[in-house]
Structure 1
């Protein structure tokens, strides 16, 4: 009887990825990393969008997507927990595809923003991808699969700049929007054909609409306030109103969740030290490394203008070649980390990644004046980022039960998004203290770039300290994973 019970798990351990799991992995990797593709390509297209539509509000081109994604995230993770992760993934992909089509066809800026806002429905898919990966892969493949899915960001960082340059140079911003439409359509097909539904569900209950509105609206208000703080002024009444109002809404959400019969999130999960420390450390560290890329992008692509700008003036293609070795190393490190996580304490991997990111930003603060310097010192944070992106979902898996997985991913993702938004804006503000405005465009001097790297190093250091708070928990080998496969 014992051998019968154990045989499926042992069989799973003896199998490799195989064609079925490889196709499943590709489908999930594409769905998760499409968010990175959107961020990279849409960010590079902003200048052409502003010129074409003659708008000074081009920030909304990205902000509309982020705000909608933040607002609907609590509902997405709740519906996925009750009705099925694949089902909800398909629904939000369809809604995102409709938004992409509207944006690609938009004759005016207002309709373009409506489309980009609808595309924000897709933003919550990453939380569902990592949750369903836990359920549908065999136990021995959960770690490597999570590492590969996370490490796909290196492929985006490697190929994205080349793709972005080709699309914009040859087809303009419309080419970018149509590519995003095609990429979302491909994601939908891959999900429908290759990804099975997860059998893990929580009990179906009444939806806590009030709690969702308070949480989603509060987080969106905070995100919006941080995003506009540099424009309005960080001490202005409007900035305080949005950020303060958002904080009040989140506090009200906590109160509502404690008294309502069927809360949107089980906040008792956050009372566990194993959970809240993982959320804190991973949000700080991952939010930092994703934000810090802004400094390198501006440093490389802004022109060199004496006394005005100390950018290096690289073409997008040259910048891509400079970053290529680091991107390859990032992918390799993420893959190795996914395998190591079954044998090495994930806290050690995360701490090592944070330490390398910290060291890398310190080095970049001093050595960022030539292509060779950027190429050499960029390798250090790349290894750190590879460890970080691979181990973040693994730590969340180790901290919660299968039934809590999608909700945990959603909560961790929202915390990480807030850190990312806040730090990105702080980076812009810090660099602008040593910058100049020429013909309505903000440029940055060398001291601004230096201080931006030091700010990123400080946040990486805070994340490293937060890792020390995480208690020893179950290892990935001991965690319940692969329910559908087993």
Structure 2
């Protein structure tokens, strides 16, 4: 019989890690209600103000896989506490900012703390009983989506009815609370890769490649896709990532073990993660614009930022409700089935959007369906990854998977941004995305989600009996920790 004390302790760990992921996601959406006002608030140009959003993405892309590997080397709990520090400092710096440069620095610091979710998921493997592991992973994995969905209306309400600095003071308090909860609730477990070296050269190479790629993808529409700067960054990214891959295959203790990553179960899961990321972000980019565009367009719904956020918030609540059910589905049918189901539900949501995009309530229903699909898919991905990697690489592998999701959202933003920029109408002297542009964007989201389901169908089953010894060793190590 399960020890009630152990059950309570593991429940507190799961709740703490899910809250940590939710807070990290809220950090990302904090500035969304302020985007249009940032140039005036910070006395700068719109192009400079855009860096307040971009810098968090770039820093997180680099720090998530690095913090994951450090979690394997020095301990996941220790790195969770380390991630809480820049979240607090970054929030304080942003709250005190009056110009764009310190705001960018603060947002960059917030990006450094985004490794909390993959670290938390990896730690669950060490401390949660096997029968509760799938549901716990699903909840913590979905916390990024939950935070993003509920963070928008909260941020909009604060920005509308209080001083904008209150957003960042509030986030500083939340981050500090998370640090305290991690210190109190999360047990310290032995580092899985203790004694190995940190691959500094690999971290630098990956940083150069990722920053170049994401910068070109996120800024290409503004700079021009054929401009020398955009093409140069894409070229630099290709060279850096190829060189990084060459190094990782030859160094003794790589940042990311590419041989493990190349296993079909891991490789196809990561590819499906990119596609789900594209599918998820397509709706997040389209729905707020449809809700807020003026009714004079004939398809805009004329809602305020706060009202738009409130219409989309039920999607976040649904993710919270679906995650435990996703865990049960993983236990009964396996994580591959759950990933396929999630991608199909995501695709169905986009199909439904073609009929319901004409009303705010309709978009709310679409958001609930899409969020349900994302919750199922996001819960299945870490389970697939962790079933195919050794215990010593759990955090690094989850960090890389989180990076793949982030890459998907960046690609989705770039693709949908190009579509909406090309298909426009003129309303009152302003160029706005047209109804056909939104419909094409929704069709792209539907197609990408279907493609993700097809990729997931190709994921092989659990590892063969030849790896049984490794599975047994992993189970024994987890059992020792729980004891």
- Mapped to 1, the partners of 2:316 and 2:107 lie a distance apart of 28
Mapping for residues 290-309 of structure 1, pairs under 5 Å: 290-306=281-297
- State the 1:240 CA deviation: 1.1
- The residue that corresponds to 2:349 in the other structure is 360
CA distance in structure 2 between the partners assigned to 1:372 and 1:382 by the alignment: 15
Asked if the contact 1:278/1:399 (under 8 Å) is kept, the reply is no
- TM-score w.r.t. the length of structure 2 is 0.91
Q: Which residue of 2 aligns with 1:6?
A: none
- Which residue pairs with 1:429 in the alignment? 418
Q: Answer yes or no: is 1:469 the counterpart of 2:466.
A: no
**Matched-pair contact (CA < 8 Å) for 1:347–1:470:** yes
List, as ranges, runs of 4+ consecutive aligned residues in structure 1 with deviation greater than 6 Å.
437-441
Show the counterpart of 1:165.
156
Superposition deviation, residue 364 in structure 1? 0.8
2 CA distance for matches of 1:62 and 1:320? Answer: 18
Gaps of 5+ in 2: none
Which of 208, 222, 226 is 2:217 aligned to?
226
Matched, 1:36 2:14: no
Closer, same or farther: CA 149–258 of 1 in aligned 2, 3 Å: closer
How far off is 1:155 after superposition? Answer: 4.6
Q: Residues of 1 paired with 2:372 and 2:379: CA distance?
A: 11
The equivalent of 2:482 in structure 1 is: 485
The residue number in structure 2 matching 1:249 is 240
**In 1, are the aligned partners of 2:87 and 2:175 still within 8 Å (CA)?**
yes
1:342 Cα deviation after fit: 1.4
| Pairing of 1:19-418 with structure 2 (within 5 A) | 19-54=8-43, 55-56=45-46, 57-153=48-144, 155-156=146-147, 159-306=150-297, 310-418=299-407
Instruction: Report the 3-state secondary structure (helix = DSSP H, G, I; strand = E; otherwise coil) of the residue aligned with 2:31.
Output: helix
Q: Pick closer, same or farther for the CA change 1:184–1:284 going to 2, 3 Å.
A: same
Deviates more, 1:314-323 or 1:136-145: 314-323
Relative to structure 2, which stretch is displaced further, 154-163 or 84-93? 154-163
CA contact (8 A) 2:56 2:110 kept: yes
Q: Any idea what SS the aligned residue of 1:343 has?
A: helix
Deviation at 1:21, TM superposition (A): 2.3
Cα 1:262/1:391, change in 2 over 3 Å: closer
8 A contact 2:22–2:148 mirrored in 1? no
Paired positions, count:
472
Measure the CA separation in 2 of the matches of 1:283 and 1:289: 10
Per-residue CA deviations over 1:394-416 (Å, capped at 9, x if unaligned) read: 22222222222111111111122
- Between the aligned partners of 1:189 and 1:291, the Cα distance in structure 2 is 35
Q: Find the residue that maps to 1:443 and give its secondary structure.
A: strand
Q: Would the aligned equivalents of 2:69 and 2:393 in 1 still touch at CA under 8 Å?
A: no
Offset at residue 17 of structure 1 (A): 7.4
Shift of 1:474: 5.2
How far does residue 74 in structure 1 lie from its aligned partner after superposition?
3.5
TM-score, length-scaled by structure 1: 0.90
Q: Alignment RMSD, CA only?
A: 2.5
Task: Specify the alignment match of 1:450 in structure 2.
Answer: 439
Q: Whole-Å Cα distance in 1 between the matches of residues 11 and 36 of structure 2?
A: 38
Sort the Cα spacing of 1:24 and 1:296 in 2 relative to 1 into closer, same or farther, 3 A: same
Q: Compared with structure 1, are the counterparts of its residues 442 and 225 closer, same or farther at alpha carbon in structure 2 (3 Å cutoff)?
A: farther
Over residues 158-187 of structure 1, what are the superposed CA-to-partner deviations in whole Å (9 max), with x where a residue is unaligned?
643442232111223212121221121111
Q: How far apart, CA to CA, are the structure 2 residues paired with 1:239 and 1:30?
A: 38
Deviations 1:318-370 (A, max 9, x none): 33443354443332221111122111121111111111111211221342011
* Aligned mates of 2:283, 2:115 — CA distance in 1: 22
Q: Structure 1 residues 441 and 250 mapped into 2: Cα distance closer, same or farther (>3 Å)?
A: farther
CA contact (8 A) 1:151 1:335 kept: no
Instruction: Please tell me whether the aligned partners of residues 137 and 379 of structure 2 are also in contact (alpha carbons under 8 angstroms).
Output: yes
What is the distance in 2 between the residues matched to 1:324 and 1:244? 40
Give 1:438 deviation, angstroms: 7.6
Structure 1 residue runs without a partner (length 5+)? 1-10
Contact 1:292 1:424 in 2 (8 A): no
